[in-house]
Structure 1
Amino acid sequence: MSIDEISSAVIEESIGIHRELGPGLFESIYETVLAGRLEKRGLLVQRQVPVPIEFDGHAFGAAFKIDILVDERLILEIKSVEQLSKAHAKQLLTYLRLTQQPVGLLLNFSAATMRDGIRRMVNNYRPD
Structure 2
Amino acid sequence: MTKKEVTDLSYKIVGLAIKVHKALGPGLLESIYEKCFKYELEKNGYDVKQQVIVNLEYDDLVFDSNLKVDLLVNDCIVIELKSVDRLMPIHEAQLLTYMKILKKPQGLLINFNTIKITSELIPLVNDFFKKLDEE
Q: Deviations over 1:49-68 (max 9, x none)?
A: 11111214433213411100
**CA–CA separation in structure 2 for the residues paired with 1:67 and 1:97:** 15
Among 34, 37, 42, the alignment partner of 1:39 is 42
Among 63, 70, 74, the alignment partner of 2:73 is 70
Is the 1:50–1:66 contact (alpha carbons within 8 Å) kept by the matching residues of 2?
A: yes
Aligned length: 128
- Give the corresponding residue for 1:29: 32
Q: Deviations over 1:38-92 (max 9, x none)?
A: 1111110010011111214433213411100000110000000000010000000
Q: Please state how far the C-alpha of 1:10 moved relative to its aligned partner.
A: 1.0
**CA–CA separation in structure 2 for the residues paired with 1:46 and 1:75:** 10
Matches within 5 A, 1:86-97: 86-97=89-100
The amino acid of 1:72's aligned partner reads D
What are structure 2's unaligned runs of at least 5 residues? none
- Give the corresponding residue for 1:116: 119
Q: Is 1:7 the counterpart of 2:10 in the alignment? A: yes
**CA–CA separation in structure 1 for the residues paired with 2:21 and 2:45:** 21
**CA–CA separation in structure 2 for the residues paired with 1:110 and 1:65:** 21
Among 38, 48, 52, the alignment partner of 2:51 is 48
Percent identity of the aligned residues? Answer: 38
**CA–CA separation in structure 2 for the residues paired with 1:117 and 1:20:** 17
RMSD of the alignment, in Å?
Answer: 1.4
TM-score when normalising by structure 1: 0.93
